[in-house]
Copies of this chain bind each other. A is one copy, B any other.
Amino acid sequence: MSTAYTRRYVLAARPATTTEPLEDGVLRYEDHAPVPALRDGQVSVKVKWLSLDVATRGWMNDVRNYLPPAPLGEAMRALGAGVVTESRYPGLAAGDRVSGLLGWQEDAVVEGSTLRKVPDGVPLQAALHVLGISGQTAWLGLHDIGQPQPGETVVVTAAAGAVGSLAVQLAVAAGARVVGVAGTPEKCDLVRSLGAVGCVNYRSQDVEAAIAELASDRVDVVFDNVGGAVLDALLPHLAVNARVVLCGAVSRYDRGGPVPLRNWFHLLPNRVRMEGFIYMDHADRFDEIEADLLPRVRAGELRCQEHVIDGLKAAPEGIQVLLNGSNNGKVLVKLCD
């Protein structure tokens, strides 16, 4: 059997910091990397889309971040979606559309048991946002922890992002009054178009004052994708028995260090529950959640704006776009055919 070759980015070295742009030498582009031969239980996948997430940047460093660091010398770890080209795994056949940890490469050889089939009737890349990490994350955080009741007020931060925009739509569908927080007027327009009653631009507005007005000073649920100063500004406006969903802390990554929470003590008199979660812990529930999301995706009731990076070679630029918040929606890499 002749050796096949692929293009890929290998994680060649750890970045010096967790927050700065990637130095030369961290990622090494290879345009003639051998594809390993298929063993029993494995499948070959032609990768079509990669998901870029804040966690992707975290995995490059040698720090614990709910998964071990991405291994050096291998294709950089990432979720992806593609089409099976060859299978030695009974549950999958050539032509099947799948998603999973495919890595920054055009051809992946992975254990078939780690992949999920992408349902019919949706674009392949939906498996990376509304039916994948973003949708599962928004659903788990909002419904398991946030538990918004009809008429309650839900504040979503980074509300124009992939997870945030889906959390907004799910909360609106649950009958909540939703207020978004985002960083540009365009993002705020998007958030309002998803059904939010208002959206605070944290770069130009006083978040505390704006929330006090928009949320009538009574926030029942915070779905937080940011951490730091914006989260801190929301805490004084929590209602009794409020829930704070800790879903992400982008601000930790791009500011060089953790931002302290000064207003945490509001949690006590208001009997607030603040809880972190990681969507991967709940893999046993993905089918159930997908079954809830799928008809709404097919009906066009749940949408996710895509910020598409063209071609594997440009993937590192996507990481920077994500960290500086200049993306509009879910950051995806579209691989060339």
Contacts and interface: CB of A to CB of B under 8 A. Distances in A.
A270 B276 contact: yes
Interface of A is mostly: loop
Contacts of A64: 269
A117 interface: no
Interface in A246-277: 246-249, 252, 258, 260-265, 267-277
Q: How many monomers of this chain does the complex have?
A: 2
A216 interface: no
B271 A276 contact: yes
A145 to B, nearest CB: 9
A275 B272 contact: yes
Contact of A278 (B66, B261, B271, B273): B271
A265 B227 contact: yes
Nearest to A67: B269
Using C-beta atoms within 8 Å of the partner chain, give the interface range for chain A: 20 to 34
Contact of A258 (B263, B270, B274): B263
Interface string A23-52: 000000000000000000000000000000
A246 B261 contact: no
Contacts of A65: 269
A227 B268 CA distance: 10
Interface string A230-244: 000000000000000
Contacts of A263: 258
B268 A246 contact: yes
A281 interface: yes
B269 A260 contact: no
A246 B264 CA distance: 10
26 contacts: A64-B269, A65-B269, A66-B269, A227-B268, A246-B268, A247-B268, A248-B268, A249-B265, A249-B268, A258-B263, A258-B264, A260-B260, A260-B261, A260-B262, A260-B264, A261-B261, A267-B274, A267-B276, A269-B276, A269-B278, A271-B275, A271-B276, A271-B281, A273-B273, A273-B275, A273-B276
Return the 3 tightest CB-CB contacts between A and B, nearest first: A260-B260, A268-B276, A273-B275
